[in-house]
Amino acid sequence: MDRHLEAFLEMLAAERDAARNTREAYRADLEDFAAFAAGRGAALAMADAPLLRAYLASLRPRGLAARSQARRLSALRQFYRFLLREGIRADDPSAGLDSPRPGRKLPKFLSPQEILALLAAAESLPGRAGLTAVAALELLYATGLRVSELLALPPSAITAHEAMILVRGKGGKERMVPLSPIAVAAAERLLAAREKPGRWLFPGRDPRRPMTRQGLALLLKDAALLAGLDPARVSPHVLRHSFATDLLANGADLRSLQTLLGHSAIATTEIYTHLTTERLHAAVARHHPLARRRT
């Protein structure tokens, strides 16, 4: 083992009381870089910034995730700071290196066919559970509301004569959201089934309080099981993503979608363009007669 690396690992144990697994992770990461440096005629302790950049650039093609790349960079930074502090080096070659940015995860969504199956299953749930599940699904998919916005709705938000509802979103910001007649009808059936008026469109077990997020999530997962869907794929937030994805795929513009979703920045809404692009690629791969040719 390189003597400078050995001294660094001893420091981790003595000064930072680092666990054995932590020290082994540092050792493995730094030995990997040492092998890379040796292949280019450089010693671990004497590597310069261009060599570190070349090493970091080599990690992604090797299949390392952004988080693993960031861990390698962290190990390099800790090591060269140690060498600088000990007077072994007069500079820190890792000082100007940028951390790799993790790729942004694309939102999960359900297809229109899966939404229809989910609604049919919700209708088969007994009693008030079925009415609640159907109303929640119709409203979430028709409006793209956040779960907190849905559960905060009062009964007065639903009227047969109004095609819009006023929603109070993040930061107390208000916006108007259109309602479909089908969603209004589902909400009215839920209201008609209650024994006495209350403060919430979706009341909890204690009618003085709204239904909890957990309660609604469990109800939707019951519907998912009946529909033959993986319950892990079904949640109020997935319904919001499904609303946005399908709206954009059918011609809505980003600015309108931003307003409907209550996003403060258009950049947040733009992620749905990546989703629709992926769907187009998948559709071509699945249906184009020449897409499955072998190269």
In a domain, 104, yes or no: no
Q: Say yes or no: 207 and 270 in one domain.
A: yes
Looking at the structure of the chain, the number of domains it has is 2
Query: Which residues, including other chains, have CB under 8 Å from residue 71's CB and lie 6 or more apart?
Result: 25, 29
Q: How confident is the model at residue 295 (pLDDT cuts 50, 70, 90)?
A: very low
189 a catalytic residue: no
pLDDT at residue 277 in the model: 64
Phi/psi region, residue 41 (left: phi>0; alpha: psi -120 to 50; beta: rest), is left
Q: Say yes or no: 167 and 234 in one domain.
A: yes
Averaged confidence pLDDT in the chain:
88
170 a catalytic residue: yes
Q: What is the pLDDT of residues 22-49, one digit of tens each?
A: 899 999 999 999 999 999 999 999 999 9
Q: Say yes or no: 214 and 78 in one domain.
A: no
Choice among 170, 209, 233, 281 that is catalytic: 170
Comparing 30-44, 194-208, 238-252, 278-292, which segment has the lowest mean pLDDT?
278-292
Full residue range of the structural domain in which residue 67 is found: 3-85
Choice among 77, 108, 194, 237 that is catalytic: 237
Reduced to 3 states (helix: H, G, I; strand: E, B; else coil), residue 26 is helix
Q: Say yes or no: 185 and 249 in one domain.
A: yes
Choice among 26, 80, 141, 272 that is catalytic: 272
Question: How many C-beta neighbours within 10 Å does residue 70 have?
Answer: 17
101 a catalytic residue: no
Q: What is the pLDDT of residues 126-174, one digit of tens each?
A: 999 999 999 999 999 999 999 999 999 999 998 767 788 889 888 788 8
Choice among 27, 72, 146, 241 that is catalytic: 146
Q: Say yes or no: 70 and 207 in one domain.
A: no
Choice among 4, 27, 72, 240 that is catalytic: 240
Q: Say yes or no: 76 and 123 in one domain.
A: no
Q: What is the pLDDT of residues 228-249, one digit of tens each?
A: 999 999 999 999 999 999 888 8
Residue 78 sits in a domain of what CATH number? 1.10.150
Q: Say yes or no: 192 and 279 in one domain.
A: yes
Q: How confident is the model at residue 61 (pLDDT cuts 50, 70, 90)?
A: confident
The CA distance from 136 to 239, in Å, is 10
272 a catalytic residue: yes
Query: Which tokens hold the place of 229?
Result: 């869907």
16 a catalytic residue: no
Rounded to the nearest 5 degrees, what angle is found at the Cα of 14, between the Cα atoms of 44 and 78?
Answer: 35
4 a catalytic residue: no
